[in-house]
Chains A and B, each alone.
Chain A
Amino acid sequence: MRIIVPLQSLVHGHGGLVLGSILPCALFYLLQHQFKRQRPPPASSPPSSIPRTASRALLSRSPPAAVSSRATSISSTDHESPHYEGFSKCFDDPFDRVTNPNGIVQLGLAENRLTMDLLTEWIAGSVKASLMDPEVGGLVSYQPFDGLVELKTALAGFMDQVMRGSISFSPSQMIITAGATSAIETLSFCLADPGHAFLIPTPYYPGYDRNIKWRAGVEIIPVPCRSTDSFRLSIASLELAYNQAKKRGVKVRAVLLSNPSNPVGNLMDRETMYELLDFITERNIHLISDEVFAGSNHGANEFLSVVDVAHTEGFDKTRVHVIYGLSKDLSLPGFRVGVIYSFNKIVLEATKKLARFSSVSVPTQRLLVSMLSDVKFIQKYIEINKKRLQRMYDLFVEGLKQLGVNCVPSSGGFYCWADMSKLMRSYSEKGELELWDKLLNVAKINVTPGSSCHCIEPGWFRFCFTTITEDDVPIVMERIERVLENNKR
């Protein structure tokens, strides 16, 4: 297996290997390579276990039978990435203005708590009715693994409301999976074989490293975006990355990107989308557009789905696939609802069959059918949500600005992409991680460092502002200020 990612950075001459992200990838590839080359005989034990002694009575545990190489690497991947380390620290000591004012403020999780009151209110009035199906059989029996027809219909309607495009979403082109996480993995299995690659513009959502590589075995070729372009996708960079992959003999099967972008929050404009569709059509590859934040666009610019542009500009839509879900736009990550939307019959057939491995619980589906069918409520929810997102965004970005920290102007998602490069001790990944560490352990706020997102420029951080309230903002700013002061000296 080729070690592509580290070489990629070396070739581009970027500042060194990024600790948080490249090393685990390299380790993963190396381990895979190692295990493939030397298959230990069944009776031998992995290096970490206790050697067998003659008397069984003396043993507490005998050497375990070998597990898969995948299990070995996956079970230990977390420790390298700050993105996940921050989560666990925060989990152990979560901030609460009343009960734990000195706890860690979670600004690293893209979770929207701003509109839970609206949802709770709806649930209070309706959940019983929605669950008491005329027959309990409809609640507990086997249903199609790719989702109830009623839920697909309701979701198609929801997507229409959220994306407000020129094309209506059709339930028959939808596969429902347990979360967008699963949708991405399932699509990866369908569009590529192990060893194939997806081109992904950086910075990208850290979860892609897991969803695409872990079990589907697809490689990621990062396509760097730069601050000079406000981190917008440059087709020239895409071309370069594609050609380099080709030279190395790596088969690129798709471009995967998020729109609105996670972690930057910007929206793709029509022209870039057109060029992108041109690019993939010419090279006969797929486009996966992860649009989970489509409804969380709070700025002046309208969200434009790739489906819309492909339709109006007459592109072949069979190579365009959309990922969606209810974890962001409806603040229901716990319910696990993801969507694969495609125009490609073969992909739909294949993902439908794979849906058996990640089906959504039927009672949950029924509850959501009820909620999504309440079109009036949904409309109200979307509008109020956007207003609150905008308010928090403005407050937060202004607060950071006061501290000398500027953000890339954006209008999508639950976060802002902040430039703290001038506030680091050294302009490097090391400097970035040092600052991140101070923010986590001294300021006690958990944010996502750009290196976890494979950003090629050090010093960028993603701050999520939807897990706190307006009153928490000054507290957060004050804490950051303290650390920045100390860091300067």
Chain B
Amino acid sequence: MVRKATCNSHGQDSSYFLGWQEYEKNPYDPLTNPLGIIQMGLAENQLSFDLLESWLASHQEAVALKKDGEFMFRELALFQDYHGLPAFKTALAEFMSEMRRNKVEFNPENLVLTAGATSANETLMFCLADPGDAFLLPTPYYPGFDRDIKWRTGVEIVPIHCSSTNGFKITKQAVEEAYRNAKKRNLKVKGVLITNPSNPLGTAMTRDELAILINFITAKNIHLISDEIYSGTVFGSPGFISVKEVIKGRDDLTNKVHIVYSLSKDLGLPGFRVGAIYSENDVVVAAATKMSSFGLISSHTQYLLSVMLSDKDFAKKYIVENKRRLEQRHRLFVSGLETAGISCLNSNAGLFCWVDMRHLLKSNTFGAEMELWKKILLKVGLNISPGASCHCQEPGFFRVCFANMSEGTLNLALQRLKSFVDSDSESNNYNHCRLPSLPKWVLRLSPSDRKSER
């Protein structure tokens, strides 16, 4: 059997998969399984389902594939053009502009549609880098990148280490050090990939950080990919600043800056598998368009979404209301954590918080982080993502999602956490207290990334 088929380097097979497995074996349900594990490792937005539901209910014609009484079905059934449904691309381009307060414009001809951002990121890698080349990524980063960026493309990731001392912001020194490290490893750096707003930090990137990156890629003549799939989840100030805004007027950069987008987070439609690459580099657009034939979005979905996104009223209302609900949920979560004596990184975006549990570690090591993670999974019954899986350099940080459950469930989760922290601090006072032993296979677990969640 072939290397790729059995290769574990993407990490998906690793023991960290346990979190997901445990959840599936014992999922929390308020009625049927109140002691089950609460899923807080899935970055999915379930807060605004009702808005989508009511739109679908009041747009029966679109759902029935009709347009002005005419059936669209025949055209859609046969439509497999990898250039995408023009009406959908236009609507998507406008939606993306709206998301950036119309400070920038997106040309539909520069959009390439893909089956989700997962596919968009991989396709962009195939277009920008050869096997053995490298991309620099600030840590902590979304664990899925180890798979999407590296797996089939053969591209390496070299981390730009960010630290808690400055709120995990990107610094010039860190970027340059990463570049030097790549060189030491004889890797050709083709570009930098950032997620803005950040996953797992939940922060929107500042102008300073963007400036550092722009200067860097200009100097090295390399690419910048900005994964902006959480752009619609920014709910506080300073607000979202897209890289496209920052490079306005910089004609020397249009060939080097590419944006990845998706409707999975901003519009809460991960099941629709809608992603896009935006680039003003003609070669990249041409190549990516052809490659998109390996992951086209169904014409049926493109049509439905073209109608939904063209409904500007709905789109605007959704964005505003969704942000309001996210902010409210975020506040609830952060204050709940505070009650438990846990702090998190100041954030204004995303579907999660970057939680600081360093004070709960038995020692400042990743071993201790894993131990804490297992306890929280198996004893407290919360599935959260340990910082190690995001390549964080400092042990003790966890990404905890708050938007994929009801308020009641979130409160329960916070209660459980508080009880744990209280009892844990008590037990820490008893030096001779033996912790219940964990099964051997659990002790052998090592941190790595996890499947399917973002």
The yes or no answer to B119 lying at the interface (CB within 8 A) is yes
User: Contact partner of B115 among A111, A331, A358, CB < 8 A?
Assistant: A358
Q: CB within 8 Å of A: which of B266-297?
A: 268-274, 281-284, 286-288, 290-291, 293-297
Report the stretch among B95-103, B159-167, B215-223, B388-396 that lies at the interface. B215-223
Q: Which 3 A/B pairs are nearest by Cβ-Cβ distance?
A: A334-B299, A362-B271, A75-B286
Q: Are B127 and A68 in contact (CB under 8 A)?
A: yes
A73 to B361, CA, bound (A): 52
Residue of A42, A69, A182, A364 with highest tally of chain B CB at under 10 A: A364
Q: Is A43 an interface residue (CB 8 A)?
A: yes
B1-19 contacts to A, CB under 8 A, are 1-6, 10, 12
For B444, the chain A residues whose CB sits under 8 A away are none
Cβ-closest chain A residue relative to B76: A334
Q: Mark A284-307, 1 if CB is under 8 A from B, else 0.
A: 000000000000000000000000
A-binding segment of B188-196, B324-332, B376-384: B188-196
Q: Is the CB of A364 within 8 A of B283?
A: no
Q: List 18 A-B contacts (CB under 8 A).
A: A43-B221, A59-B252, A68-B129, A71-B284, A71-B287, A72-B283, A111-B78, A137-B46, A139-B271, A179-B293, A179-B294, A182-B295, A190-B2, A191-B2, A361-B272, A361-B274, A363-B301, A364-B298
- In-complex Cβ contact of A334 among B10, B80, B118, B130 (8 A): B80
Q: How many angstroms between the C-alpha atoms of A354 and B253 in the bound complex?
A: 33
Across the interface, A335 reaches (CB within 8 A) one of B3, B77, B254, B268, namely B77
Give the residues in chain B near A64, CB-CB below 8 Å: 255-256, 281, 283
Q: Is the CB of A67 within 8 A of B281?
A: yes
Q: Mark A163-179, 1 if CB is under 8 A from B, else 0.
A: 00000000000000011
The answer for the CA separation of A67 and B115 in the assembled complex, in Å, is 22
**Bound CA–CA A346/B8 (angstroms):** 13
CA distance A182 to B273 in the complex (A): 15
Count, A-B residue pairs, CB within 8 A: 256
Interface residue A143 (Cβ < 8 Å from any Cβ of B): yes
Chain A, residue nearest B268 (CB): A140
Dominant secondary structure at the B interface: helix
- In the bound complex, what is the Cα–Cα distance between A346 and B13 (angstroms)? 13
Q: With an 8 A cutoff between CB atoms, is A411 at the interface?
A: no
When C-beta atoms are compared, the residue in chain A nearest to B144 turns out to be: A356
Give A35 Cβ to nearest chain B Cβ, in Å: 7
Cα of A194 to Cα of B269 in the assembled complex, Å: 35
Contacts of A362 in B (CB 8 A): 271-273
Take A72-B283, A331-B77 as given contacts and tell me if A143 and B298 are in contact as well, using a CB distance cutoff of 8 Å: no
Residues of the B chain whose Cβ atoms lie less than 8 Å from the Cβ of A35? 130
In the complex, B65 has a CB within 8 A of chain A:
yes
Residues in B whose Cβ lies below 8 Å from that of A192: 2
A residues in contact with B453, CB < 8 Å:
142
Alpha-carbon gap, A100 to B284, bound state (A): 35
Q: How far, in whole Å, are A39 and B4 apart by their CA atoms in the complex?
A: 26
Given the contacts A67-B281, A143-B271, A62 and B255 also touching, CB distance less than 8 Å: yes
Given A140-B268, A331-B77, 5 further pairs, Cβ under 8 A = A64-B255, A141-B271, A361-B273, A362-B271, A364-B300
